[in-house]
Amino acid sequence: VSDETRTERTLRTRTHARSNMKEVADLAGVALSSVSRVLSGHPDVSEPMRERVMQAVERLGYQPDLLAQSMRRRSTLSCGFVVGDISNPLLAEIAQGAEVTLRDAGYAMLLTNSENDPRLDASHVRLFLQRRVDCLLLSLAAETDRETLALLERIEEPIVVIDRDVPEEIGAGAVLSDHRTGMHAAVSHLLDLGHRRIGLVNGATLRAPRERRAGLEDAYRDRGLPADYRILEGPLTVDHGQRATAELLDGPEPPTAIVAGANQLLVGTLRELRRRNSRIGSDLSLVSCDTIVLTELFDPPIAVVDRDNRELGRQAAAMLLERMSKPDTPPERITLPTRFIARPSCAPPPPGA
Amino acid sequence: VSDETRTERTLRTRTHARSNMKEVADLAGVALSSVSRVLSGHPDVSEPMRERVMQAVERLGYQPDLLAQSMRRRSTLSCGFVVGDISNPLLAEIAQGAEVTLRDAGYAMLLTNSENDPRLDASHVRLFLQRRVDCLLLSLAAETDRETLALLERIEEPIVVIDRDVPEEIGAGAVLSDHRTGMHAAVSHLLDLGHRRIGLVNGATLRAPRERRAGLEDAYRDRGLPADYRILEGPLTVDHGQRATAELLDGPEPPTAIVAGANQLLVGTLRELRRRNSRIGSDLSLVSCDTIVLTELFDPPIAVVDRDNRELGRQAAAMLLERMSKPDTPPERITLPTRFIARPSCAPPPPGA
């Protein structure tokens, strides 16, 4: 119930917002340099001095200006995260884990979508460098783009890649998922059920699809079985998922089990199976990679190679913070587990198949 | 195939990375102030001067330092986005739309998760202000938190809220979804099919659940039907979805149709229906709000009140950019449409129900 107008209040607010270190120094009755030392956490500050300054800071509601501090420190306390597509639930969970960990350490997360376009990776890294981020988290659209790799090799800012293989010369840390072991377990389960012809609808050219392919091949080799599998590689799109599923099922010896190598591919596979009225868990067995609400709630529930995506984000952020505090240690690689969860979408192949 | 060691290269890179306006001025043979004028887009610059400077910029690979520019301009070309939970696909799509629009205009998006905790909203807004973001996009955890509202009223930075009602005094722009019309259409469809007892498993206290409730009430009132619906409000969690569904079905006159008022609630509802072996689309009709892959691919496909979340993010970012370019225009509110998509999860009530 104040009479002041909006303009008056705005003016007062503006003045208040601009309240500066000088005012803090005047109120505390100390030199400006003392305020600066207290606020920057300088060790040579007596406890009474610190208290006096902080009382003035609180009374004035003074907020230290991180931008001005950044200029002095040459650090912006920010991390740039290049993400293929934040609307992919997998990447959104990774971003969520990373953001909370970075924020706890005082870092802001800048986020940019490369729309899974390799040409945008380098330009987004450059944008972040112009903004002087202190470090980079990268879920690159491509692992072999020459421009991106040349840029990453040149820069000094600590880098951690998430589930990507990049050349050692870049000096990046890496947090990876052990797709190979999870896929090996999934395929072994299908082989145990009696399947011999398994189709893998896979991505291409990135680490995850390479490891998934290797896990499938290992499982056949470990049992001395002939390589009666088919692997169809392509982009991580619903469309590729649907086409590849159709191609597998229209082949001369169609598979009795299909593995969808990513959540986008699963959507395409399910569309195609519905179109054909295939009964999952009886006509055909199905496994997917990464848990989404669909895999649990589908009827029948869909077996998955599961992993903890938030943990992947947390570990990547933690590794980045560690690299910033100890810049001279060699880059680390850690691999987080995946696990296969069997569900009723997997059953023995139909008789005669 | 160079002999230089990693250290030598790092040193060279460091020198290179630090290449500054002084070097550009020296190479171009012009005054430092001329370089500064060219790079800041000052109008009083001759074309030959501009070309001379830009050639030196390119030869040195000089990248203008946005941080230093920010100090001069008092602008960081950044936007802070406070999101309840980025791992919610709905918010991830909104963030994706907003980020692309902001980036096209030269703005970086800083993102922070409030973990749907109202107490974190204000502290995250404060964090962003310390970082001197130019503007704020808010998907607040609560609309009535006094500390948050007092803070928002005080600040000058343009604000756009996404699907939230906040007091006019804050002067925020708003991009809203027309949940009411979509819900009215969904409930009218159920009434057309013969349902009279409809249960709404709803969120609480935010704009979206209020509008959804109103849409349902309108639909009954418009037909002069008695209010034989039940609305159970609670947090946007899987757990509330499951409990509320159980409570509805265990009541004396259980509903013949359920509307899940959010994607998290739908997961809880489906868990409970599976536990009871309810056949969706025959024993019970079901509608959800917002499209997720589950709604399309579930068997039977689930009817939804749909909206374009990426467009919501794009429009919110565009409104924010507009507010920054014209700070004196009054705040706008725009409402984007929702539409009901009928699917086989809705059918007439079973005979005798």
Is the CB of residue B217 less than 8 Å from the CB of residue B209? no
- CB contact (8 A) between residue A130 and residue B64: yes
ipTM beyond cut 0.95: no
Q: Label residues A79-116 b or e (16+ Cβ within 10 Å = b).
A: bbbbbbbbbbbbbbbbbbbbbbbbbeeebbbbbbbbeb
User: A223 burial class (0-12, 13-18, 19+ CB within 10 angstroms)?
Assistant: exposed
Report the C-alpha gap between A206 and A65 in whole angstroms: 42
User: Which residues, other chains included, contact A320 with Cβ-Cβ below 8 Å and sequence gap of 6+?
Assistant: A79, A102, A135, A136, A137, A158, A160, A173
Instruction: Provide the shortest C-alpha distance from residue B28 to chain A (in Å).
Output: 22
- CB contact (8 A) between residue B274 and residue A294: no
Report the C-alpha gap between B58 and B72 in whole angstroms: 23
User: Which residues, other chains included, contact B238 with Cβ-Cβ below 8 Å and sequence gap of 6+?
Assistant: B264, B265, B267, B268, B271
Q: What is the pLDDT of residue B319?
A: 97
pLDDT in tens, B136-184: 999 999 999 999 999 999 998 999 999 999 999 999 999 999 999 999 9
Q: What are phi and psi of A103, to 5 degrees?
A: -65, -40
Report the C-alpha gap between B99 and A86 in whole angstroms: 10
- CB contact (8 A) between residue B17 and residue A155: yes
Cα nearest neighbour of B92 on chain A: A87
Give residue A93's identity as a one-letter amino acid code. E
CA–CA distance from A37 to each of A45, A69, A341 (Å)? Answer: 7, 12, 56
For chain A, the straight-line distance linking the first and the last C-alpha, in angstroms and rounded, comes to: 81
Report the C-alpha gap between A44 and B239 in whole angstroms: 53
Q: Which residue has the tokens 């109008």?
A: B43
Q: CB-CB: which of A14, A70, A88 is closest to B156?
A: A14
Q: What number of H helices and E strands is found in chain A?
A: 14, 12
Question: Bigger pLDDT: B19 or A180?
Answer: A180
**CB contacts, 8 Å: A67 with chain B:** 67, 70-71, 76, 131-132
Mean pLDDT of chain B: 88
For chain B, the straight-line distance linking the first and the last C-alpha, in angstroms and rounded, comes to: 80
- CB contact (8 A) between residue A67 and residue B70: yes
CB pairs A-B closer than 8 Å = 153
Most B CBs within 10 Å, among A1, A13, A62, A111, to test the B interface: A111
Q: CB-CB: which of B131, B274, B293 is closest to A292?
A: B293
pLDDT in tens, B30-70: 988 888 777 665 667 788 888 888 788 777 767 666 555 55
Cα nearest neighbour of B106 on chain A: A127
User: Which residues, other chains included, contact B144 with Cβ-Cβ below 8 Å and sequence gap of 6+?
Assistant: B205
Helix (H/G/I), strand (E/B), else coil: B112:
strand
Q: Is the pLDDT of residue B257 over 50?
A: yes
Q: What average pLDDT score do residues A318-344 get?
A: 94
User: B84 burial class (0-12, 13-18, 19+ CB within 10 angstroms)?
Assistant: buried
> What pTM was estimated for this model as a whole?
0.80
Instruction: Provide the shortest C-alpha distance from residue A266 to chain B (in Å).
Output: 10
Is the CB of residue B21 less than 8 Å from the CB of residue B54? no
Report the C-alpha gap between A334 and B242 in whole angstroms: 38
Cα nearest neighbour of A70 on chain B: B67
Cα nearest neighbour of B127 on chain A: A108
Q: What is the pLDDT of residue A63?
A: 64
